[in-house]
Structures are given as C-alpha cells and as structure tokens.
Structure 1
Amino acid sequence: MAVKTPFSASEFKEILARYDLGALLDFAPIAHGSVQTNFFLQTTQGRFVFRYYENRSPGSVAFESHLLQYLTQQHYPCPAVLLDRHGAALGIYHEKPYLLFTFVDGEHLERPDERQQQQLIQRVAQLQNITRDYQPVNKDERLNYTVENCRELARQQARRIGTTNAHEKLVWFERVLARLQLPSSLPCGICHCDFHFSNILFKDGEFAALLDFDDANYTFLTYDLVTLIHPFLPTFDWYSWSDFQPGDHILDFSAASRTVREYERYRPLRADEKQHLFDIFQLSIMFDCIWYFERGQVSDFFEKRKIDALDALGRDAFYRSLF
C-alpha cells in the first residue's frame, strides 16, 4: 500500500465541504504509486480520486494542475482536475498540497499488445503536439530534465553517499554529460516522463487515459519518445545485463525503429531532433542513473554498459539505425 499519510472519514468530509461533490459514502487507499498518497472517494455524486502530495511544493502542484486543465480543454485523455466552490484547484491540508480528480474507468495492462502500444505512442506524440506552444505555470518549480539539473542531482547524490565509488562515478557521469550535443534550438515542451504500466489505462482494449503527471516537466520534446524506445536486445535489461560480458553486442534497433516510425505518423521530427536523438537518449540514461546512483561499481554497471554500447556505435550510426 502506497499511503504515507492516513486519512479518516471526518478529514475527508472536511475536505469535501469545499466542493459540490455530494456527501462522502466511502473511501479506500490506492495501492499503485510509490511517492504520493492516493485515495478513491465515493460520494453521493460519483467516484473521485484524491491525491495528497507528500514531497511537492504548492507551486509544483500548481504546474500539474494548470497543465491538466489545459490538456482537458484540448480533449486529451487524462483525468480532469476538480475545482472547489471558489474556482480553485489546489488545496492545502495540514501544510501539504492536494488535488481532486475525476475518476477514469479502465484497467492497467502490464503487457499491452502491439495495437495498444501503438495507441500509447500516438497519445505521446499528441501530448507533444498539444504542449509545443503551451506556456507552463511555475515551470521552474518542477525538476526539468536538463543537462544542468542532471549534473547537479548527480553531485548531490555523490555528496550524500560519500564513498570513493560514488565520487568516481560522478567523474564518469560529468564526462558523459560534457560531450552531449544539445543545441538550444531543439524544441522544448511538456513531457510526461513516466510511462509505467500503472500510469496508463485501457478500457475495452482501447487507450482510455494517461495518469500521474507527477514527473511531468518542461524539457526537450523528444524526451518522451526516447523513454519509449529500447535499442537493445530484448534479453538485455536490469535483471540480465550482468550475464553479458563488456563489449558483447547488445544493440537491436528493430523495435526502436518501429516506435520512431509510429511516432512520426503523428508528430514528424525535425532534422535537428533526429540528429540529436542520440544525445537525448543518453541524457535519459543518465537520469535513470541518478535514481540508482548507489548500485554498481564505477568500473561496470547497468547504465555504463548502455552508454558504452552507444558510444561504440556512434551518433551517426545511431541515426542510420533508427531512420
């Protein structure tokens, strides 16, 4: 169970008193999710979702609220944010922010079929089309996926861990970031950045909604695309990477190139986006490395194997393999 802060019926009644959503009938914690506290609320007017942000500033939650209201206006499939009687979306309870959402019916699929995967790719491309010219609120209160933020997070991790291995890993980390080529001309916008199966709903086999914009931020528009591609052997992943030897062939672009082609059906990539997809993909690997900075020795670990394989291939060959 992912509930970090328990709530009572009387507390939910106090919160619901701000809204025109009817009287509370029942509530239940939501098991999915590992960061924020989530509950289903059943009232006399329907079913809703309550999200209590354990570690986000009000400004960061306002970013999410404004974004979701904009996406709802654009008829994008996502939960709608509910407003209270005063027209406010953001609430504060015991000094932490919260939002109420419409409930979207559907199921989470751990293994969507090919057609359902194509629907996800379409919706990802649509998200970038919609937010290309969107002006976010409180953009800088989010962890935007930039090289600068990536570097600073790695430095924080190295200081926190404090081991020789962590500091040596930081040296490697900064060396990789320093050679990324990401010109300022690359288009930016909103990316969701977390397509875990628990954040995607299907209803009767059709894409129903993209959930949980807690990691959404302002970054390169192709960041979401690179998180959908896996240009490695299907057998090469976190659980099996150590079965391979350094220097083994681990690249396989067959699935990745299909994903890119499907994406471009809905949002054709600019020439510079194609040219620097290699760099965006490496940046995504480096952010993954931050979340797991303690695991592995600097001489050989999962993310380093990926970076080494891509460096051995090179930017031009990466481009040709995809396009």
Structure 2
Amino acid sequence: MAVFTQVSENDARSLLADYALGDFLSLKGIAAGIENSNFFLTTSQGEYVLTVFEVLTLEQLPFYIELMNHLAEKGIPVPQPQTRIDGKRLSILHGKPAAIVTRLPGSYEPKPSARHCAIAGETLARAHLAGLDFAISQPNLRGLPWWEQTAPTVMPFLTEPLALLLKDTLSEQQILAKTADYQTLPRGPAHCDLFRDNVLFAGTPEAPLMGGFIDFYFAGVDTWIFDVAVSVNDWCIEHSTGVFVPELLESWLEAYSRVRPFTEAERRIWPIILRGAALRFWISRLFDFYLPRPAQTLKPHDPGHFERILQQRTTGAISVLPKEF
C-alpha cells in the first residue's frame, strides 16, 4: 500500500476541526500513488481524499493546490482543495503538508476505447484553455533542464546503443527548444503526467462519462502540445510494443482539436515532441530504477517500456495532427 505516513482516526478528527466539512465517519488508505500518502475520508457532509505530501514541501505546493482550485472553479472536473476555516488550503499533519480535496466519481480505465480517448482529449483541451488566466507560474520541473541534469547520471547504466539513443534524442530536444517554431507554441499550465491511471471514468464501459483528472503534482507551465504527447504516448498504444493504435490516436487528437485547434508550428514539430515526451519518462524511470531514493518502498516502473516507445517514435510511423475543423 502506498501509505508512507500513518494517519489515525483521531488524527483525522483533529484535522477536520480546522474545516467546515461535517463530522468524521471513516478513513481508509489508498493503495495507488508513489509520491504521497492518500486516504479516502468520509464525513457527514461528503466524500473526500486526504493527501499527506511526502516529497513536496509547504513552499512548493501552492502552485498545484491553487491550480486545481482554479480549474475546478472553471468547471473542469478535477479534485477541488477544501478551504480551512482560517482561509488556507494546506494543513500540517505529522509535520508534513496535507490537503483535503473532493473525491471524484469513477475509476480508471486500463484499456481505453476510442470513446474514452475522445472524452479525455476534449477534457484536456478544456483544461488548457481554462488555465490561461491562472495567476501563478511555475515551470514543468521535469522539463528539459531536468533531462539535461539527470541524463548523465543514468547514462552509465545503458548499453552503448541505448546511450547513443538517449544522447541523440536529448540533443534533438535541445536544438528544438531554440527554434522559432518552439518559441511560438501555445503554452500554459499543463498536467504533464496525464496517464490513463490519472483519469477517472464514471458511467459504463460502453457509455463512459468523465469523472475527472487527478494527481496534478507533476504539473507545470509547459507547451500544451507536450501535454498532448505525454497523454497519447500512454493512452493510444499497444502496451507491449509502444506502437500507436490509429483508431485511438485519431479519436484522442480530433476530440482535442475540436476544442483547441492545433497550430501549424505544432503540426510541424509533432514527431519531435512525441520523442521528447517519451524521453522524459524514459529518463525518470531509468533514474528510479537504477538510483532509487533511500525511502522508496515501491517497485520502480520498468524503464524498458518507454525505451520501446522512444524507439517507435524514432523509427516507426507517426500520424500527423488533424487540421482545424
């Protein structure tokens, strides 16, 4: 179970005294998650999620908490942080930052259909536009500077061909970042980690309904096309090979572009952005696999998965972004 900090019922009752969320009814640990301790918290007023932050500090959290609140107030289905009686949205529990957010309906879909992809794509586009007037700015902390810093630490663990693949892809991203096309890309707050297990669906498998986007704790200001690339590299593939499933990819991209049409610059650099999105997660999984944090208790994800995806984005066929509708 991904609960690193134990929270008792008495802890929860004491915490609730700082909120106007009703009386405590129950508390249950959530197995999902690798960075934080999460609990389902039920009160007489409703159902919530209590998160104790294990890595992020009190100073780092306002961007994520306020972004979720901003999006929720704009009608985007995301967990809404609850406000304490003193007006704050962050608490301290066992010496660590903590927050209570609304619990969204549904569960994640491990094998999304074209309909699931369309709903996710449309919602991401809406979220991008809703974040345009968000007042706080923070870069994607797992963006290019982090890749440049981390790549040398994982390179010694790779075979010569894989080290060359990493080096060449990183160089391509460094060159892209200096181009005029890249400088003109639409950008703003982005989720940056919208894998299928960070999206909840209600309804039925045949008629899914959007439950909401969760886990915003890798979010940052980045190009929106990068956020799209991260998503489709997970949602729209054959998992064993990393090859795109055309029906899923087309459904995802067309639904997104009906809300926010892609620009010409985005269409031109789409293949490179897809490789950058694969590189980001290959590097992070290599780092977690070979250089785990001392307190890390969960089995790291297989870095070979994103190695395969990057190989596919380097040598395989890539469909173009749809034109404006």
Q: Same fold (TM over 0.5)?
A: yes
- Identify the residue that residue 265 of structure 2 maps to in structure 1: 272
Larger Rg, first or second structure (1 or 2):
1
Alignment partner, residue 245 of structure 1: none
- How far does residue 127 in structure 1 lie from its aligned partner after superposition? 1.2
Which residues of 2 match residues 121-160 of structure 1 at below 5 A? 121-137=121-137, 139-140=138-139, 143=141, 145-158=142-155
Equivalent pair of 2:74/2:130 in contact (CA under 8 Å): yes
CA displacement, residues 121-149 of structure 1 (integer Å, 9 cap, x when unaligned): 10011111222343325x15x62x43222
Moved more, 304-313 or 188-197: 304-313
Q: Give the corresponding residue for 2:117.
A: 117
Contact 2:23-2:43 within 8 A present in 1 as well: yes
Aligned match for 1:228, one of 213, 220, 231: 231
1:198 aligns with 2:201: no
Equivalent position of 2:249 in the other structure? 256
- Separation in 1, partners of 2:192, 2:111: 19
Q: Are 2:78 and 2:213, in contact at CA under 8 Å, matched by a contact in 1?
A: yes
Equivalent residue for 1:51? 51
Contact 1:47 1:102 in 2 (8 A): yes
Rounded to whole Å, the distance in 2 between the matches of 1:20 and 1:321 is: 47
**Aligned residue number for residue 210 of structure 2:** 207
Which residue of structure 2 lines up, in the alignment, with residue 246 of structure 1? none
Partner of 2:96: 96
Distance 2:209 2:223 in 1: 28
The CA deviation string for residues 80-127 of structure 1, in whole angstroms up to 9 with x for no partner, is: 110111110011223321110112232333234332321111001111
SS at structure 2 position matched to 1:39: strand
Counterpart amino acid of residue 151 in structure 1: E
- Describe the SS at the equivalent of 2:39: strand
* CA spacing shift, 1:22–1:322, aligned 2, 3 Å: closer
The answer for the alignment partner of 2:28 in structure 1 is 28
Deviation at 1:291, TM superposition (A): 2.4
Structure 2: give runs of 5+ residues left out of the alignment: 291-303
Residue type of the alignment partner of 1:275: R
Query: What runs of 5+ residues in structure 1 fail to find an aligned partner?
Result: 242-249
**How far did residue 42 of structure 1 move?**
1.9
Partner amino acid, structure 2, of 1:215: F
Contact 2:114 / 2:251 at 8 angstroms: preserved in 1?
no
- One-letter amino acid of the counterpart of residue 108, structure 2: H
Letter in 2 for 1:200: V
Separation of aligned partners in 2, 1:321 and 1:26: 47
Maintained 8 Å contact 1:24/1:44: yes
Q: After the TM superposition, which of the residue ranges 49-58 and 254-263 deviates more from structure 2?
A: 254-263
Contact 2:52 2:98 in 1 (8 A): yes
* Contact 1:275–1:319 (8 Å) recurs in 2: no
CA distance in 1, matches of 2:62, 2:28: 25
Matched, 1:283 2:269: no
Q: Is the 8 A contact 1:231 1:252 kept in 2?
A: no
Counterpart for residue 2 of structure 1: 2
Structure 1 residues 112 and 13: CA distance shift in structure 2, 3 A: same
CA RMSD of aligned residues (A): 3.0
* CA distance in structure 1 between the partners assigned to 2:244 and 2:25 by the alignment: 53
Give the alignment partner of residue 216 of structure 1, picking from 205, 216, 219.
Answer: 219
Distance between the aligned counterparts of 1:13 and 1:167, measured in 2? Answer: 56
2-side partners of 1:37 and 1:45: how far apart? 23
Q: 1:166 to 1:311 in 2, by over 3 A?
A: closer
8 Å Cα contact 1:166/1:293 also seen in 2: no
**Per the alignment, do residues 72 and 252 of structure 1 end up closer, same or farther by CA in structure 2, a change over 3 Å counting?**
closer
Counterpart Cα distance in 2 of 1:252 and 1:114: 10
Name the SS for the 2:150 alignment partner: helix
